[in-house]
A and B are shown apart, each in its own frame.
Chain A
Amino acid sequence: MIYLDNSATTQPHPEVVSSYIKVNEQFYGNPSSIHRFGEKASSLFVKAKKQCSDLSGIADCNVIFTSGGTESNNLAIKGSVHALAAKGKHLITTVIEHPSVLEVFKELEKKGFDVTYLPVNEAGVISLDGLKQALRKDTIFVSIMYVNNEIGSVQPIKEAGEIIKAQSGARFHSDAVQGFGKLPTDFDCLDLITLSAHKFHGLKGSGLLAFKKGLSITPEMIGGGQQEGFRSGTLNTAGVVALAKAMRLASESREDAFNRLSVYNQLLRRFFEGQNEVTVISSHNAAPHILSIAVPGLTGEVIVHALDQREVYITTSSACSSKLNKKSHVLSACGLNDQDIRGAVRISLGAMQSEKDIKEFIRTWQEVIPPLLKGVK
């Protein structure tokens, strides 16, 4: 099997799984219980939280553990906007956000907020001038994703942050789900950052929202008041310890992963650029682990299923939207024509990928895809 759908999810690292099992077996007490068994779990939770805070990229931050990227994004946006509503009604995001950001903004629009959706260029990158023009006196919140999940485009978070802080008092959030473990996430300018464990060899159902200490955030989940009231619900000690471990492993291997993946990206790029049937969509400046291409003569589904027969797993533009048979909003935003959009597939690499996988993938593609085009006009 060759697994190249790492932006959908990654294989959990064995050490992460072992931490998860160990905590569940040995320290299953409720961290909120005051007996020693509970306190034991609580001390694990506190230690994991500290490790996650230190590795999140936001200096001097607090962390809320969630069920994953979608919940973190919902909480970051709605929690901030409701806490700041008295200060203004204007919000800014981009047209290529993940649905867990985009749909939230659409809902807020219905509730009377005014949202500016920044467009992107062909490479899938926003314009900083566009951001400057969009910022207003009453802008209270800006959310710009770090690495796009469909085409890998990387947004200029640092520069955007400088503009936002210089021109407004708005809070700045980034969905960095696809960036962590491959690109650095230490941005001083960010107020909030979303991470999801299963995108960097952690477990599903586990993510976090890190934010600068002292920010007011209106909770979404209310109940027993766990996590300082930011998110009620029994603390998931094992999930949090496993997340801390996944973050450590990903941080430690980040530079090495970036370098290797850049080499693989070049291999794939050079191969596809030599294939007549293929158009490469992702720009040269995109993140190395996400490569989007299109075969205009075929549809993405046909390519995915054809490779599937040979146990090679890639996906149409993104796992979330591929089953809905919807046209990708990201590719549309980049100005691609319908034929390219229909024929688009995404190859996404993991930090533990080997060069052998890439070479075998290339061989399989050559055997499977060009023959399909015979007779197709």
Chain B
Amino acid sequence: MQIDRILIRYGEISTKGRNRNKFIKRLQQNIADACSDLTRFHIESGRDRMHLELNNADEADQIMDRLKIIFGIQSFSPVVKSGRDLDEVKNHASQLVKSVATEGTLFKVKARRADKNYPLDTNELNYEIGSHVLREVPGLKVEMKKPEVELTVEVRSEAVYLSAQTIQGAGGMPIGSGNKAVLMLSGGLDSPVAGYQMMKRGVELEAVHFFSPPFTSEKSKEKVKQLASELAGFSGSVKLHIVPFTKIQQTIHQQVPENYTMTSTRRMMLRISDEIKNKTGARAIVTGESLGQVASQTLESMEAINAVTHAPVLRPLIASDKTDIIEIAKKIGTYETSILPYEDCCTIFTPAAPKTRPKTEKVAFYESFIDFDEMIREAVENTEVITLKPGYQSDEDEEIDLF
């Protein structure tokens, strides 16, 4: 079947009020970006649906594959364009149903006339097309209330559009419609999932990673690049800020009592993230924290850590169980990368018995002997920024002929 158009339903955007156009424009842009390497197509947007008018029907499958992961799309349907002649419409209808139906499929026709001058009215159309399809496709059962295949037929003045398949979209809101946040990306299982959850709500992300050579290896940095690239699969690209963190970490270990080093380290990370947030014009900081998972993720710890900033610190996984987080990580494809066994700066400096109930005043007192402001400024200044696209490969070209 030649797919001429793709019909996209927005879902949640449709409930928006005056801002709706902004959301729709953003979705249009994101779809165009995701397909920028393909033949250009025209996008026509309405109140609650959007039509992609394809110029190259051969690319329909490719485009639909990409639509599946674009947030802001509730569902979409491949559409076939037919001439207005009834026999031609019937013929397209039966072919279309044949391609998606199997023995015993529950089926219904739903005709709509945008052009009221068409010789048949809606009921006559339903009857004519329905009975033709039933004759041509053996084994169909008619079901008006809950059909498995609903053949929609839309009669317009220029042509008739048919579709019989509804494909589930990723839901959520178009990325970018919810402004921007920075994501603290450690390399573990949680932070990529937290990032994904925020993207799904339309937030554009820039990731921040803390790199402590020689205490953490080049490999752990590669791993984080890989994760950022996997997240970029949902948004097109992700900027990754790699912060040199060794000096601050060593200073903390010299200055702060061992059981408070973790709290202090997290505070410094948050302060740096805050700086990067301000620098990039982001509005919030996102972390993968989940209540009670480790010592830094008790409410007392969060209080002591959070005290360094007034920025909103969003923790989309705060009430999620580890098993649910793993489930999502597998679904979005970050699981395999996250479980690679390289140390990151959180695991390598962990004290034997970190405080699970640190006091804000105490940690602030321990830190007060050092000018961390200057060190933070320096770290932010020396931060390396790279933009990751989907499909990042760490290996250099020289090896290609080895394989």
- Give A contacts to B, CB under 8 Å: 15, 19, 22-23, 34, 36, 39, 42-44, 47-48, 51, 241, 244-245, 248
- Give B contacts to A, CB under 8 Å: 217-219, 394-395, 399, 401-403
- Contact across chains for A245 and B402 when beta carbons are under 8 A apart: yes
Complex CA–CA separation, A23 to B403 (angstroms): 11
Q: A36 to chain B: which residues have CB within 8 Å?
A: 218
Complex CA–CA separation, A248 to B401 (angstroms): 12
Complex CA–CA separation, A48 to B402 (angstroms): 9
- Contact across chains for B399 and A44 when beta carbons are under 8 A apart: yes
Q: A43 to chain B: which residues have CB within 8 Å?
A: 219, 394-395
Please name the residue on chain A nearest to B340 by beta carbon: A46
Q: A23 to chain B: which residues have CB within 8 Å?
A: 402
Q: Is the interface of B mostly helix, strand, loop or mixed?
A: helix
The 4 A-B pairs of least Cβ separation, nearest first, read A19-B402, A241-B402, A244-B403, A39-B219
Q: B401 to chain A: which residues have CB within 8 Å?
A: 15, 19
Could you list 26 examples of A-B contacts with CB < 8 Å? A15-B401, A19-B401, A19-B403, A22-B402, A23-B402, A34-B217, A36-B218, A39-B217, A39-B218, A39-B219, A42-B219, A43-B219, A43-B394, A43-B395, A44-B399, A44-B402, A47-B395, A47-B399, A47-B403, A48-B403, A51-B403, A241-B402, A244-B403, A245-B402, A245-B403, A248-B403
Within the complex, the shortest CB–CB distance from A248 to chain B, in Å, comes to: 7
Within the complex, the shortest CB–CB distance from B119 to chain A, in Å, comes to: 52
Inter-chain pairs besides A15-B401, A34-B217, A39-B218, 6 sampled, C-beta below 8 Å: A19-B403, A22-B402, A48-B403, A241-B402, A241-B403, A245-B403
Within the complex, the shortest CB–CB distance from B250 to chain A, in Å, comes to: 20
Please name the residue on chain B nearest to A15 by beta carbon: B401
Within the complex, the shortest CB–CB distance from B104 to chain A, in Å, comes to: 24
Q: A39 to chain B: which residues have CB within 8 Å?
A: 217-219
Within the complex, the shortest CB–CB distance from A167 to chain B, in Å, comes to: 27
Q: A19 to chain B: which residues have CB within 8 Å?
A: 401-403
Complex CA–CA separation, A11 to B218 (angstroms): 39
Within the complex, the shortest CB–CB distance from A131 to chain B, in Å, comes to: 31
Q: B217 to chain A: which residues have CB within 8 Å?
A: 34, 39
Complex CA–CA separation, A44 to B217 (angstroms): 17
Please name the residue on chain B nearest to A18 by beta carbon: B401
Q: B395 to chain A: which residues have CB within 8 Å?
A: 43, 47
Within the complex, the shortest CB–CB distance from A9 to chain B, in Å, comes to: 23
Complex CA–CA separation, A15 to B285 (angstroms): 51
Within the complex, the shortest CB–CB distance from B50 to chain A, in Å, comes to: 36
Within the complex, the shortest CB–CB distance from A237 to chain B, in Å, comes to: 10
Within the complex, the shortest CB–CB distance from B230 to chain A, in Å, comes to: 15
Q: B394 to chain A: which residues have CB within 8 Å?
A: 43
Q: A48 to chain B: which residues have CB within 8 Å?
A: 403
Within the complex, the shortest CB–CB distance from A210 to chain B, in Å, comes to: 17
Complex CA–CA separation, A245 to B400 (angstroms): 10
Please name the residue on chain B nearest to A36 by beta carbon: B218
Within the complex, the shortest CB–CB distance from B330 to chain A, in Å, comes to: 12
Complex CA–CA separation, A15 to B401 (angstroms): 9
